[in-house]
Amino acid sequence: PFGCHCQGWVRSFRPQKQNLFLHVNDGSSLKSLQVIAPAAMNDPLLGFGCAVEVRGILKKSPHSKQPVELEAEQIWVIGECNPVDFPFKIKERHSLEYIRQFLHLRCRTNAFSSLLRIRSEATAAVHSYFKNNGFLLVHTPTITSNDCEGAGELFQVEPPGTTFANEGSFFSVPVYLTVSGQLHLEVMSGAFPRVYTFGPTFRAENSQSRRHLAEFFMVEAEISFTESIEDLTKVWKSAFALTLLISWMELFHVRCPITYTEAIDILKRSSETFTFPTDWGCDLMTEHEKFLVKHCGNIPVFVTDYPHDLKPFYARDNQDHPKHTAAAVDLLVPGVGELSGGSLREERLDLLRSRLGECGLEDTYSWYLDLRRFGSVPHGGFGLGFERYLQCILGVDNIKDVIPFPRFSHSCLL
């Protein structure tokens, strides 16, 4: 036995004739510390949800449910909590949908506090992997003048009282919240062979689905001196087999890649009725992605060689005929569909200049052409949605339940 001082929140409170039994949690784990105190220490403010400070003697517990327990000598109620008004009740099992209504309080529930601890550990594991494998962390900007994805789903940043037609606007050019740090990583890949970034990205997609957010975190990496999609997928698999959770990619034995053309053939031969078309050249939608995962044994699968016209200007041209494809790859996973996307980048100056010219972007991306003019090397990279990753490995149905403060169309609470 030794003296102990603890601070935390009461997760259960059971007064008896001679003793009080409290479970106090400080947020470090799901398990709480059992505190035993004489009934005389009972306080009208002491109860479920309140914050306390306890001083006493830590002893080995005679009960198998906990290794130790704290015999209290003093208990102070630091912050009271009215159990009638508190939306979470001590003996009720609340659904994630219910606790989502209380964004400012849901971190106090066992379910969401556990999700947050796992998110924190997964974040640390991502950084640890990249650091241990020679990647340089780059803090790419949140405010940018480029649309990396080319989809136009951008949040435009405007200082109050100005317009971009006005030459006196703050940045003098239209600027946006970033949808990807990829182009900035490509800049850095001209001096460092392995770079990555991990930060918030934004997409103005008017969706309230279970897999979309307006603000989400992306893990993105760029690798120089590679001409192989296989090189990208190897890094992909090892980077996200997070041993602190489960060796996820190894556990599911990621299926050998199938091509987009093979995927379309699978969809066309199926007896499934799809809402969206499955002709060659059409983008794969969520319903297609989930069907392909199920068809392949309900395991993660890489799909490669998408139609050239579906991919942004930077995707490497395979120069194949009669079907014209790009060296691009997506990772599809159970329950989510697309988890991650990547490609080899077009390093050939003449082909890149031609593609930018077709898109009317040659002047806008003249700096990008410079990357190919001065010491260019074959390179490629990928981006992975961190919340979708957590959704998949934890089996959480709604993406809004794996991020502390979800932002989506018509909702920006707190």
Res 243: pLDDT: 39
Task: Please give the tally of structural domains in the chain.
Answer: 2
How far, in whole angstroms, is CA 62 from its chain's centroid? 43
Between β-strands 51-60 and 2-15, what pairing exists: parallel, antiparallel or unpaired?
antiparallel
Is 409 among the domain residues? no
Look up the pTM and report it.
0.90
As a dihedral over the C-alpha atoms of residue 8, residue 10, residue 12, residue 16, rounded to 10 degrees, the angle is 110
* Euclidean distance between CA atoms 270 and 295, whole angstroms: 9
Same domain, yes or no: 236 and 377: yes
Is 136 among the domain residues? yes
Q: What is the mean pLDDT of residues 100-128?
A: 93
Is 94 among the domain residues? no
Same domain, yes or no: 120 and 50: no
Same domain, yes or no: 26 and 137: no
Same domain, yes or no: 149 and 33: no
Burial, 191: exposed, middle or buried (Cβ in 10 Å; 0-12, 13-18, 19+)? Answer: exposed
Res 105: pLDDT: 96
**Domain containing residue 124: CATH number:** 3.30.930.10
Per-residue model confidence as pLDDT tens digits over 132-145:
999 999 999 999 98
Same domain, yes or no: 342 and 389: yes
| Confidence category of residue 244, pLDDT binned at 50, 70, 90 | very low
Res 119: pLDDT: 94
Same domain, yes or no: 80 and 202: no
pLDDT at 208 over 50: yes
Same domain, yes or no: 30 and 159: no
Same domain, yes or no: 30 and 162: no
pLDDT at 403 over 50: yes
Same domain, yes or no: 199 and 69: no
**Domain containing residue 37: CATH number:** 2.40.50.140
Same domain, yes or no: 82 and 125: no
| Confidence category of residue 149, pLDDT binned at 50, 70, 90 | low
Same domain, yes or no: 132 and 33: no
Per-residue model confidence as pLDDT tens digits over 6-23:
999 999 999 999 999 999
Is 91 among the domain residues? no
* Structural domain span for residue 270: 107-401
